[in-house]
Amino acid sequence: MEARPRPELFDFHGVGMIKKFTENWDNIQNFKARADDILIATYTKAGTTWVSYILDLLYFGHMGPDGQTSIPLHDRVPFLEICKPPLPIGTDLADKLPTTPRLIKTHLPVQFVPKSFWEQRCRVVYMARNAKDNAVSYFHFQRMNSGMPEPGDWSTFLLNFMEGKMVFGSWYDHVNGWWEKKQIYSNFHYMFYEDLIEDCRREIDRLCSFLGLSPSAEEKERVKASATFDNMKQNKMTNYSTIDTMNQTISPFMRKGKVGDWKNHFTVAQNEQFDEDYKQKMKNPDLKFRYEI
Ligand code: A3P
């Protein structure tokens, strides 16, 4: 099979983007959120699928296996900004979603989020992941996904990551921008991948209290058990095996699911350079990440 041409990264209002995320821009900006919508926001590879599946199970897990065993998660939790015909367009999928509430996913930096989400006071769940593991995961994702720009080798990729030359822009701007939003917008739950790895049950409790849900202890255990890395890796509805731009023999979508895999990728010199640069970019002492647990 002929290799598909990779999309080119370009500057879009100061943020790195590729065409499939800007093609539908007017419809994205004019998207009509409903008051009970839940927006799941993340930087790419921060654990979006994991938190989306947990919310999907919390809201719809008790309704029988129907959707969860036959409709891939990416159709159940539409990706707002995606526009790559013939695949369904994110905004159309969201408009037609039969569930209430609608769970909607986005990787947009906060300044690009359609204003109706704020006007409707929608609940927002933001999940962040430490920069080093996020970068490693993103590198492998770009290697396996021909729908993303060519990543180059690891050292080139890491420099681009530090310079913010990435699809959806700079990790540093993303996590900080959403953190700042949380300070002024109260319907907001900011969570961390590392916390979810450390104690998934505690994080499910926190999510439930934010969402106003009160499932039984057994239901919460069921959610936790269904959303383990191993189960999601086996599950065709969550492992992205249905997306043909992803070559899972290069690197599986459900790759490692660990905190600290960066240590297997960063050289000592890269780590020192990264830490030095990080200090300059991450000045807010309240926003702290863990690089091992
Ligand atoms: P790795 O590449 O480090 O393994 P996203 O969904 O935002 O694309 O993020 C994908 C990352 O989340 C991948 O990280 C994937 O393995 C990890 N992930 C997905 N589900 C997970 C789970 N149940 N437990 C731990 N990590 C998970």
Q: Output the pLDDT for position 65.
A: 57
Q: For the segment 16-42, what is each residue's pLDDT rounded down to a tens digit? A: 999 999 999 999 999 999 999 999 999
Q: Output the pLDDT for position 66.
A: 57
Q: Is the Cβ atom of 102 under 6 angstroms away from ligand 1?
A: no
The whole-angstrom separation of Cα 156 and Cα 170 is 15
Contacts of 262 (CB under 8 A, 6+ apart): 130, 132, 133, 135, 136, 291
The whole-angstrom separation of Cα 176 and Cα 189 is 14
Ligand 1 centroid to 156 CA: how many Å? 23
Q: Is the Cβ atom of 256 under 6 angstroms away from ligand 1?
A: yes
Residue 269 has pLDDT above 80, yes or no: yes
Q: For the segment 131-157, what is each residue's pLDDT rounded down to a tens digit? A: 999 999 999 999 999 999 999 999 999
Ligand 1 mutation target, pool 108, 141, 255, most atoms within 8 A of CB: 255
**Confidence grade of residue 2 (pLDDT, cut at 50, 70, 90):** low
Euclidean distance between the first and final Cα of the chain, in Å? Answer: 43
Q: Is the Cβ atom of 52 under 6 angstroms away from ligand 1?
A: no
Cβ contact 71:99 at 8 Å: no
Percent of the chain topping pLDDT 70: 97
Least confident of 11-15, 68-72, 77-81: 68-72
Q: Check residue 14 and give left, alpha or beta (phi > 0: left; psi -120 to 50: alpha).
A: left
Mean pLDDT, range 88-112, rounded to an integer: 97
Ligand 1 centroid to 26 CA: how many Å? 31
**Confidence grade of residue 160 (pLDDT, cut at 50, 70, 90):** very high
Q: Is the Cβ atom of 255 under 6 angstroms away from ligand 1?
A: yes
Instruction: Given the residues 74, 107, 174, 189, select the one marked as catalytic.
Output: 107
| 107 is annotated as an active-site residue | yes
**Confidence grade of residue 67 (pLDDT, cut at 50, 70, 90):** low
Residue nearest to atom 27 of ligand 1 (CA): 257
Residue nearest to atom 22 of ligand 1 (CA): 229
Look up residue 175 and give its amino acid.
V
**Confidence grade of residue 128 (pLDDT, cut at 50, 70, 90):** very high
Least confident of 112-121, 241-250, 259-268: 241-250
Tell me the chain's radius of gyration from C-alpha atoms.
Answer: 18
Cβ contact 38:123 at 8 Å: yes
Domains of the chain: 15-281 (3.40.50.300)
Mean pLDDT, range 93-107, rounded to an integer: 97
Look up residue 289 and give its amino acid.
F
Ligand 1 centroid to 45 CA: how many Å? 7
Bond prior to 86 in cis (omega within 30° of 0): yes
In the chain, the largest separation of any two C-alpha atoms, in whole Å, equals 52
Residue 1 has pLDDT above 90, yes or no: no
Ligand 1 centroid to 149 CA: how many Å? 20
The whole-angstrom separation of Cα 164 and Cα 70 is 37
Q: Is the Cβ atom of 265 under 6 angstroms away from ligand 1?
A: no
Q: Which atom of ligand 1 is nearest to the CA of 44?
A: 7
Q: Output the pLDDT for position 3.
A: 66
This prediction has a pTM of: 0.97
Residue 88 is encoded by which pair of tokens? 């369904």
Ligand 1 centroid to 173 CA: how many Å? 21
**Confidence grade of residue 62 (pLDDT, cut at 50, 70, 90):** confident
Averaged pLDDT score across all residues of the chain: 96
Q: Output the pLDDT for position 15.
A: 98
Q: For the segment 187-239, what is each residue's pLDDT rounded down to a tens digit? A: 999 999 999 999 999 999 999 999 999 999 999 999 999 999 999 999 999 99
Q: Is the Cβ atom of 107 under 6 angstroms away from ligand 1?
A: no
Cα 278 vs. chain centroid, distance in angstroms? Answer: 21
Q: Output the pLDDT for position 7.
A: 98
